[in-house]
Amino acid sequence: MDVIEKTIRDVAMKQPVNLQSKTHHTALDGLFRYADFLNFGQVHIKFDHATGLKAIVAVHNLKRGPAIGGCRLVQYPTTDAGFEDAIRLGYMMSVKAAISNLNHGGGKAVILKPKVIKDRKAFFETFGDFVNELGGRYITAVDSGTSSEDMDIIQTRTPFVTCTTASGVGGDPSPQTAFGVRRGIEASVKFKLGRDNLDGVHVAIQGAGHVGYYLAKELHARGARLTMCDINQNVLQRCVDEFGANTCLPDAIYDVEAEVFAPCALGSILNLNTIKRLRVPIVAGSANNQLAHQHHGVLLHERGILYAPDFLINAGGLIYVAAAYDHANIQKAKEHVGDIYYTVTDVFEQAQKENRATNEVAEKMALERLR
Ligand code: NAD
C-alpha cells in the first residue's frame, strides 16, 4: 500500500468524521497544506509492529540528485509534530544543498522515539530496510539521537547511508560545520567592516556545544576575542580554559557589545524581543532556523544588522558528509566548505543591490536552482 494512502487510512480510522467533513480540517489536511506550501515532494512512512519502529522520510526535491539528510531519533509530543518536523527539515535540507551547489536534493528522516527500544539492532535494521525500499531516493546520515554505530547497522541493509564508522566522517560533522561558519564570519566581517582578518574581532557565541566549541577554536586561532554562554557550565569552562573566553549568563548574550553575534545553540532566537537588544553589526552562527519567522530577517536588515543566512553558513557538515558518500576527494570537499566565503559574499552583494533581506535573497537563489 502506498505510504501516503496508509497515512490517510490511519488518520481516517482515528478521525473518520473529520476526514469526511467539508467544514472541519484534520491535522493531516494541515500537514498536506504545509507540504504543498513548501512544494514537496514525497513523504514516506513506515510502521513495524515487531520492533516498534515508526519512521517518516520526507524527500523534498530530487531535481539536483538523490536527497540527503540526517535521521533524527527524537521523542515528539504527537505524531503530527514529528511529521511536521520531517517536512520542515526536509525543505531546509533542499535549500541548504542547493545554495551549496551540491548534486543532491534535500530529505530528512524522523523516527518517533519509543519509550523503550527493546532491540536497537533490529530497530535500525528495519529502518535500513525502509531506506532501501526507497530505492536510493533518500540517503540517510547521523542526526540528533543517532550515531555512527546506528549507521553501521543500517548499512547491513542498504547502501544508501553515510556517516558510518568506516566512512571517514564518523558521527560528528561539527568541525566542518564550524569551519564553514568561520568562513561565513570572515566574509561578513570583510563585507560589513572592511576588515581582512579576525584579529581582535569580538565574537559573542551562544552555545559551547559541538559547533560552538570548534568555532571558538577556529576564531581563537585567528586572534578573535570571545564572549560565550551556555547552560552547561562544563562545556563553557572548557572554552574558558582553552581559549580564554569571557563568559556571560545565557540571557545576557543578546546585550553583549561585539562585532559578531554567533548563535550556536537554539532555533528561533532571533525574534521581536531579542533583535531590539542586539548591539552587534553582524549575526552569523551555526544554529538552524535562527529566525523565529522569515520577516525577522527584514527586521535585522532594517536595523542595519548584516545577517549571514544560517542554512548557507552552517552547510559545512553537509558538504563534507555528501562528499564522503559520493567518494569525492576530501581535500576538494574542504575547499568547497571554504568557498562558503564567496557564496556568502555573493548573497550580501545581491541583497545590497536589491535592498532586501539576506535570508530572502539566499532562499530565492536556492529555489531558482531547484526549478
Ligand atoms: P550541541 O547540542 O552539541 O550544542 C548546543 C549547546 O547549546 C549545548 O552545549 C547546550 O547546553 C547549549 N544551550 C542550550 N540552550 C542554551 C541556551 N538557552 N543558552 C546558551 N546555550 C544553550 O549542538 P551542536 O551540534 O553544537 O549544534 C548547535 C546548533 O547548530 C544547533 O542548532 C544545530 O542544529 C546546528 N547545526 C549543527 C551542525 C553540526 O554539524 N553539529 C550542522 C548544522 C547545524
Catalytic residue among 108, 121, 190, 276: 108
- Out of 155, 186, 213, a domain closes at 155
Residue 6 has pLDDT above 70, yes or no: no
β pairing state of 225-229 and 138-142 = unpaired
> Within 13 Å, how many C-alpha atoms sit on residue 266's CB side?
11
Residue with cell 473529520: 18
Atom in ligand 1 nearest the alpha carbon of residue 176: 40
Return the closest-CA partner of residue 91 out of 69, 110, 65. 69
* Residue 148 and residue 210 in one domain: no
* Residue 149 and residue 290 in one domain: no
Instruction: Specify the number of domains making up the chain.
Output: 2
User: Is the bond preceding residue 41 a cis peptide, omega within 30 degrees?
Assistant: yes
* Residue 7 and residue 120 in one domain: yes
Pocket test for ligand 1, best of 286, 289, 311, 321 (most atoms within 8 A of CB): 286
Looking at residues 226-248, what average pLDDT do you find? 98
pLDDT at 3: 39
* Residue 94 and residue 184 in one domain: no
Query: Structure pTM?
Result: 0.90
pLDDT at 170: 67
Mean pLDDT for all residues in the chain: 92
In the residue annotation, 334 being an active-site residue is answered as no
d(CA 191, CA 323): 29
Atom in ligand 1 nearest the alpha carbon of residue 250: 19
Looking at residues 80-107, what average pLDDT do you find? 95
**Residues spanned by the domain of 284:** 174-370
* Residue 359 and residue 210 in one domain: yes
Task: Give me the helix-helix angle, 358-370 and 79-99, nearest 10°.
Answer: 90
Residue 282 has pLDDT above 70, yes or no: yes
* Residue 114 and residue 147 in one domain: yes
Q: List C-alpha distances in Å: 349 to 23, 174, 241, 345, 358.
A: 48, 28, 38, 6, 9
d(CA 7, CA 46): 10
How does residue 169 score in pLDDT terms, banded at 50, 70 and 90?
A: confident
pLDDT at 167: 84
Q: Output the domain CATH number for residue 77.
A: 3.40.50.10860
How does residue 22 score in pLDDT terms, banded at 50, 70 and 90?
A: low
pLDDT at 23: 58
265 lines ligand 1 (CB under 6 A): yes
173 lines ligand 1 (CB under 6 A): yes
- Out of 92, 122, 155, a domain closes at 155
* Residue 147 and residue 257 in one domain: no
In a domain, 160, yes or no: no
SS3 132: helix
Higher pLDDT, 352 or 27: 352
In a domain, 165, yes or no: no
Q: Output the domain CATH number for residue 312.
A: 3.40.50.720
In a domain, 223, yes or no: yes
β pairing state of 246-247 and 260-263 = unpaired
In a domain, 112, yes or no: yes
How does residue 18 score in pLDDT terms, banded at 50, 70 and 90?
A: very low
d(CA 163, CA 69): 11
* Residue 357 and residue 224 in one domain: yes
In a domain, 200, yes or no: yes
* Residue 213 and residue 321 in one domain: yes
CA dihedral (186, 192, 193, 199) in degrees, to 10, reads: -20
- Out of 126, 155, 184, a domain closes at 155
* Residue 191 and residue 48 in one domain: no
Higher pLDDT, 6 or 182: 182
Residue 164 has pLDDT above 70, yes or no: yes
In a domain, 48, yes or no: yes
In a domain, 357, yes or no: yes
Residue 56 has pLDDT above 80, yes or no: yes
Residue 12 has pLDDT above 50, yes or no: no
* Residue 124 and residue 203 in one domain: no
Residue-wise pLDDT tens digits, 313-371: 999 999 999 998 998 888 999 999 999 999 999 999 999 999 999 999 999 999 999 98
Pocket test for ligand 1, best of 230, 273, 312 (most atoms within 8 A of CB): 230
In a domain, 161, yes or no: no
pLDDT at 328: 87
Exposed / middle / buried, residue 244 (Cβ in 10 Å: 0-12, 13-18, 19+)? exposed
d(CA 125, CA 158): 9
Give the angle 230-306-280 at the CA atoms, nearest 5°: 50
Say if residues 126 and 53 touch (Cβ distance below 8 Å).
Answer: yes
* Residue 93 and residue 219 in one domain: no
Residue 131 has pLDDT above 50, yes or no: yes
Residue-wise pLDDT tens digits, 246-266: 999 999 999 999 999 999 999
What residue type is 307 in one-letter code? Y
Q: List C-alpha distances in Å: 314 to 1, 115, 239.
A: 38, 32, 21
